[in-house]
Amino acid sequence: MSDEQRLAADWTAIVVGSGMGGLTCAAYLAVAGHRVLVLEQAGVLGGNSHVFRRRSAYEFDAGVHYIGDCGPDGVLPSILRGLGLGDRVAFREMDPDGFDEIVLPGLRMSVPVGWDRYLERLIEALPADEGGLREFVAVCSAVGAEMRWTLLSAVGADPAEVLRRTPMAMAWGRRTLHQLFEHCGLSATARTVLAAQALNYGIGPEEATVGMHASVTDHYLRGAAYPVGGGQMLAASLTEAITGHGGTVRVGQRVDRVLVEQGRACGVVLDTGQELRAPVVVSNADYVRTVRELVGEEHFPASIGKRARTAVTGFPLAVLYVGLDRELPGRTGANLWWHGNTDVEEAFRGLADGRFDEPSSVFVSFASAKDPHTAAIRPPGHANFQVMALCPRSLEAWGAEAASENGGRYRRDPAYLAEKDRVTEAMLATAERALGPFRRYVTHLELASPATQRRYTRSTGGSPFGLARWGGTGARPDTRTSVTGLYVVGQGTRYGSGITGAAVSGIACAGQILGRPLLPEVHAGAVLGDPRMLPARGADWDPLRHCGGRAPRGTHAIPQ
């Protein structure tokens, strides 16, 4: 059967979008024997895990800045190992004595691996808050451990056993971080240190739940790492698992809508008008867009339509990509979390009110220090780093074209260009306050706005963090929907934000489709993929090219 004939009739599952959730789900379906088709509207696979190159000299990560829990029993390594990819993706450990550095006025603290050592550092930095810090860490460490146990072990467990094993998560998981701060009687400075890494999930203490904060913190305190070869290694390896087991992956293919007939998903329609049929459709698109645009509210219960209309996403990001003709003195691979004030809750209230004259805090990720041996990241002796800041949710400051629902032709809009120049200068000024003067050494400078994020991933509001509110506080939907045969994966689901959260949503979704607890299986050591079916990597193998990078747009299949 030719590929074109197969496009029309022979798919058992179609995955819309190639972020970590979509690729992980597609890979597990493929190794289980499904005939899988992945459709990506952009020209490169990977969603927020993709990379891009500039000047034939620098490679920048869109969203892979560091990954936690990458030890032998780590969640993401287990997911990859279960596909037969254990030897194809390696992780370079970041400094266990300080993988993150938190800087506030008058305070500097390195974040080490392990809750006990983390507590010691907190008490050293904030001795007046010792009692509250001990209570805070006791709650969060317990909630983090209990939620990880639930993820890896509780599938099929007796509900009474789950309740017995997760008392702290039941008591605190759905309450806000602000409520835990109040319970512990913590100072504004202590709250800022504890929430300093909130850009990992994109919302402040008054919106973030203790469960979300504890899970993310626990994730990194189990050990932080960076993929050897850069972020594109993840998408490229997952694609090898898909195509090696008979699936097909295509870029430049935008899905206009999901076909629903008699309450069942039965395929998709491309923006070209072509129909592709399959009894299972997995959307890796933004959850709100999936409900309101790809499927249509009329196919869901009224309560779901209402939640989609009133959903709140995480704050969007402005990202400054920087190349220098020299290394930054004194910088290691540790991420820098720099805060210009000591009241993180007030800073988030300012964002909620639309204030963004100059970033009050920035997150700086040093790719060239994390992966110094990958030549594509930067020329020898140069530096490659990113400066990130959260922005207000409304895009009106970026101009009418950028703020319109579909983005318009904002990139040439004078209002957009003026705001982009203003934000670039503001972020440069803040970055130099954090790092010292560097702008005279700049060889590449580029700003990505929330509108950029929305253009590449079609995310609501240009946020890379998924849903902040879906009905009640802390609520997020599961991957299974009320439409038979329709599933949703990615940042908007209950499995959390970030690279690992999205991958977990993918394997959880595949498990629901296949009717088996895949994540507990692979975490226990099961290998479902056959490494012998993976394509060979030649001496000139390039993960970006393998994912469609620099390929022409249009109907383009990733090499089998």
Whole-number Cα distances in Å, 26 to 13, 75, 241, 274, 276: 8, 18, 9, 21, 16
CATH number of 3-49+73-86+229-311+470-557: 3.50.50.60
Question: What is the pLDDT confidence band of residue 381, given thresholds at 50, 70 and 90?
Answer: very high
Q: What is the DSSP letter of 111?
A: E
**pLDDT score at 474:** 72
CB 253 within 8 A of CB 39: yes
**pLDDT score at 10:** 79
**pLDDT score at 458:** 87
CB 26 within 8 A of CB 45: no
Q: What is the pLDDT of residues 33-64, one digit of tens each?
A: 999 999 999 999 999 999 999 999 999 999 99
The structure tokens listed for 337 are: 């979390």
Taking 50 as the threshold, does the pLDDT of residue 555 lie above it? no
Q: What is the pLDDT of residues 479-512, one digit of tens each?
A: 999 999 999 999 899 998 899 999 999 999 999 9
Provide the strand spans (E) within 286-404.
312-313, 317-324, 335-339, 361-365, 383-390
d(CA 66, CA 385): 13
Question: What is the pLDDT confidence band of residue 307, given thresholds at 50, 70 and 90?
Answer: very high
Phi, psi of 231 (to 5 degrees): -60, -30
- For 247, half-sphere exposure in the C-beta direction (CA atoms, 13 angstrom radius) is 32
- The contacts of residue 219 (CB under 8 Å, 6+ apart) are 68, 69, 75, 144, 498, 500
- The candidate with the shortest Cα–Cα distance to 377, out of 421, 418, 422, 321, is 321
**pLDDT score at 495:** 92
The structure tokens listed for 531 are: 């490494």
β-pair partners for 321: 386, 446
**Please, what is the average pLDDT of the chain?**
93
How is the chain split into domains, by residue range?
3-49+73-86+229-311+470-557, 115-221
Q: How many whole angstroms from its chain centre is CA 37? A: 22
d(CA 102, CA 112): 11
Taking 90 as the threshold, does the pLDDT of residue 160 lie above it? no
**pLDDT score at 5:** 43
d(CA 245, CA 12): 14
**pLDDT score at 154:** 66
- The candidate with the shortest Cα–Cα distance to 337, out of 178, 137, 99, is 99
d(CA 341, CA 14): 48
The structure tokens listed for 120 are: 């010691």
**pLDDT score at 490:** 95
Provide the strand spans (E) within 450-533.
467-470, 472-473, 486-488
Mean pLDDT of 413-432: 96
Q: What percent of the chain has pLDDT over 70?
A: 96
